Amino acid sequence: MPKEEKISMLWLLRYLSPVKGRLVILLMLLLTSTGLQLINPQIIKRFIDTAAYGGVLTTLIQLAGLYLIVAVVNQLITVGVSYLGNDISWRATNRLRGDLLKHCLRLDMRFHNEKTPGEMIERIDGDVTNISNFFAMFIVQVIGSFVLLGGILVFMFTVNIPIALVMTVFTIISIMFMVIIRNLGVDSSKKEREASASLFGLIEERIAGIEDVQANGNVPYVMNRFYRLMRSVFLKGRKAWMMRIVPWNTTVILFALAVTAVLLLGVHYYLIEEITLGTLFLIYQYTQMLNDPIEMLGDQVQEFQKAKSGMLRSRELLSQRSEIVGGDEEQLPEGALGLEFENVHFRYNEDKPVLKDVNFVIRPGERLGIIGRTGSGKSSLSRVLLRLYNIDSGVIRVGGTDITKLKLPALYRRVGMVTQDVQLFDGSLRDNLTLFNNAVSDVFILDTTERLGLRQWIDAQPKGLDTHLSAGGTSLSAGEAQLFALTRVFLSQPSLVILDEPSSRLDAATEAMLQAAVDQLMSQCTGIIIAHRLATLEQVDKIMVLGDGRILEFGDRVELAQDPESHYARLLSTGGREELA
């Protein structure tokens, strides 16, 4: 077995280890089922020979009854084997699905920016389903087939050596051929999975943007792309299927030749009276039985090719490494945290710098307002602070500690961020607000929501905090969603909070109420507010004006407002239209 396959099998066996007890039971059932399959043709042989030579009726009835009992027991065991095989496969591969999802959630944003959710669903579930299908039948059919083949051939050598030799040669050639070409369709199957992932990515992407698709009349364009991807899936799937069925077609031809030879020999020995009629039937029956495990092995070679493509893609995904690596420190000073950017440079792509030599300091408890044109680097600044991306050079310190030296959970526990988009999960309102943290009391939740203006909406829900929310947030208005996101962050009691356009979706009255609540809630922490509306920044201590990734201006808000030459003062005088339009 090639090294790559050994690694793949050892990798898969790691997921089978927790279900080894079930595997032992399954193997025992398989051996029992195989034994019963070998017994029944011999019962029929005795029945035929007894009838042919004028045996007593009682013996025939007993043989018929024994045949029925063995057949029924074998069917019951077959059901148990099928159930247990599927149970083992799903238990094992569900662990793999969990590992893949956990791994993907830990990968950095550069990786996720290159992958659509639809593609990731196909990678985490679709590829693993192929492995699961292989697992489900591999033990049952492959191991069972080899045991049955061995039993048939061993018994045939006790009946007729020339016929047994023909059957053995057929079996060996069939198995050798399948082993030799077992990887024939792996590459094609992998390309088929890639095409399928692209198709799912398109469907997810367009459904997520359905408003834009319909509003801009892009349905024909989307359908054109859909048909092109469907054609790619069809062509690659057809090629993969044709490659995978080569082993099966070969075994069909070999079996036809083997059956012809065996039956000719069997009839010959019967005519010269070296075997009985019952033995001739036994030979025919065992020959037919020999085809079943060979066909099963051929089917499993096809499943193996699909499963191996899934294994390769899953291992490839698990081999991806995040650029974001946590440090060893997890302690930060109590209370509000200071923030320092020192010579920070950052770019998403090699040819397009986003932050250039950014330097500033915020003392604990201060509030910084950040303004600038779209694309000036405002949101990028918050992303590197939360280590969603690594900076190219420089140092970012929170509470005096370099964030690259902090464990990621330690950073996320103390730094919170509110974005313009809120993600709701399928669960209760309480779970969505606390992100499934049962340690947060209902009293604290309701107190926080009341100060943020969300309490009235909660009280109007049929079951209050126990109200079930569906994923996606369709049950919330844009303003309610923003209040929801603010509540979620402040329930975690951060020491440093980033508000990215906190009032962009709110009307004037709600914004005024929200501003008062935010002022109160931020009294115990350091705050960074990214805003387009200058009114949102009336209570901040410092102002930073960004332009093309550089700090154009940084200083005390009051002093900048009074300096007619400052960018901030000019923005105030023009109502923000001069540089923020």
Paired strand residues for 393: 345
Contact of 498 with 415, CB cutoff 8 Å: yes
- The pLDDT assigned to 140 comes to 64
Instruction: Name which residue leads in pLDDT, 106 or 401.
Output: 401
Residue 139: is its pLDDT beyond 70? no
Residue 478: is its pLDDT beyond 70? no
What's the rounded mean pLDDT across residues 117-141?
A: 71
- The pLDDT assigned to 270 comes to 82
Q: Which SS3 state, helix, strand or coil, does residue 144 take?
A: helix
- The model's confidence at residue 2, banded by pLDDT at 50, 70 and 90, is low
Q: Distance between CA 465 and CA 433 in Å, rounded?
A: 9
Per the listing, tokens 């069997």 go with 266
- The model's confidence at residue 341, banded by pLDDT at 50, 70 and 90, is very high
Q: Which tens digit of pLDDT belongs to each residue from 166-219?
A: 888 887 887 777 777 666 666 777 778 778 877 777 776 666 666 666 666 667
Contact of 376 with 571, CB cutoff 8 Å: no
Instruction: Name which residue leads in pLDDT, 523 or 544.
Output: 544
3-state percent breakdown (helix, strand, coil) of the chain, nearest 5: 65, 10, 20
- The pLDDT assigned to 551 comes to 92
Q: Distance between CA 403 and CA 262 in Å, rounded?
A: 76
* Least confident stretch, 60-64, 251-255, 306-310, 430-434: 306-310
Q: Which tens digit of pLDDT belongs to each residue from 346-381?
A: 988 777 888 999 999 999 999 999 988 878 888 889
Q: How far is CA 98 from the centre of its chain?
A: 7
Q: What angle do CA 118, 123, 128 make, to 5 degrees?
A: 130
* Whole-number average pLDDT of the chain: 80
Instruction: Identify the CA nearest to 497 among candidates 408, 412, 407.
Output: 412
- The pLDDT assigned to 579 comes to 47
What's the rounded mean pLDDT across residues 65-81?
A: 88
- The pLDDT assigned to 278 comes to 82
Main-chain dihedrals φ then ψ at residue 398, nearest 5 degrees: -120, 125
Q: Distance between CA 131 and CA 95 in Å, rounded?
A: 12
What's the rounded mean pLDDT across residues 144-151?
A: 78
Residue 7: is its pLDDT beyond 70? no
- The model's confidence at residue 510, banded by pLDDT at 50, 70 and 90, is low
- The pLDDT assigned to 142 comes to 72
Residue 279: is its pLDDT beyond 70? yes
What's the rounded mean pLDDT across residues 482-501?
A: 82
Contact of 107 with 320, CB cutoff 8 Å: yes
Instruction: Name which residue leads in pLDDT, 579 or 542.
Output: 542
- The model's confidence at residue 504, banded by pLDDT at 50, 70 and 90, is low
- The pLDDT assigned to 543 comes to 92
- The pLDDT assigned to 544 comes to 92
Which tokens sit at 236?
């690659």
Burial of 541 (0-12, 13-18, 19+ CB in 10 A): middle
Give the sheet arrangement for strand 542-547, strand by strand: 415-418, 496-500, 526-530, 367-372, 542-547, 550-556
Residue 272: is its pLDDT beyond 80? yes
- The pLDDT assigned to 299 comes to 67
Residue 414: is its pLDDT beyond 60? yes
Residue 104: is its pLDDT beyond 70? yes
